[in-house]
Amino acid sequence: MHDYCFVHSDKGNNVCGSQLIVVGRELEGIVVWRYELENNKWFKGPAMITPRVMYGSASRGTEAFFAGGINEVYQAVNIVEKYNADTKTWAVIREMHKKRKFSSGFFLSGKFYVIGGRDENNENLTCGEMYDEETNSWELIPYMLKEMAFTSSHSPPLIAVVDDNLYLMDNSVSELRVYDRNTNVWKKLGVVPVETNITLGWGVAFKSIGDRLLVIGPSSSQSCNRRTVVYTCRPSPKVEEQLWEELKDSCDIAYYHQFILNCCVMFA
């Protein structure tokens, strides 16, 4: 089993097919653990070719892409690897234009994107990059996050894709936005009913589930006893205010810790 360092280290996770991939630091370095749903067991490895944490990642079927991150000597890199859940192997693909850590990844219209993060000098990146697997090439997208307010310690961008639309939760004002690829502009879609500005986006889960958005985080209530809440909505880029529905009976979430460490969605 993993050591105590892994429990307290920064970890990233991703669902790839029926496997849950968790990457973090153990005493001897960065390791990969995977949970196989069909076996209901955890296995160690296989290791990344260049081990990293705090990368941007996304999955598509039984493949997952892991871009950038912080390597074992704590340097930001532009290395990209692809994991295949069927063969349990890693493959290196073309490097990104920018070295970046604390970024976010997603698939949109069949292409893999990486957005935001910080460079090797810890400067915030407003650009994004798009990877075309057919040509094995990256396209730099300047000023993709030019409208966002940044701090020195904000979380990776909170993003989710529903119906081939890219949504972002602006953690400075707890506001939902949708991206227009034609104009490179983010349209405002109203306030999200959780507080993201308290922790600068850290500890909040923002995911897509089918045709809905899911958010888990501290309640936006002004009560002194903030509780953890779960909301979903069926987003529409054409509506200025989204209808968020609280999931009160899904689980006893009110007693959970308000800081969500990791969150993944797996369809069994």
Q: Domain map of the chain by residue range?
A: 151-170+182-268
What's the Cα-to-Cα distance from 215 to each of 90, 192, 225, 248, rounded to whole Å? Answer: 31, 8, 19, 13
What is the chain's pLDDT, residue by residue, as a tens digit (268 residues)?
567 777 777 788 899 989 999 999 988 899 999 999 989 999 998 999 999 999 999 999 999 999 999 999 999 999 999 999 999 999 999 999 999 999 999 999 999 999 999 999 999 999 999 999 999 999 999 999 988 877 667 888 999 999 999 999 988 888 999 999 889 999 999 999 888 777 777 778 899 999 999 998 887 765 555 678 899 999 999 998 999 999 876 555 544 556 676 777 766 5
Q: What is the pLDDT of residue 136?
A: 94
Model pTM score: 0.90
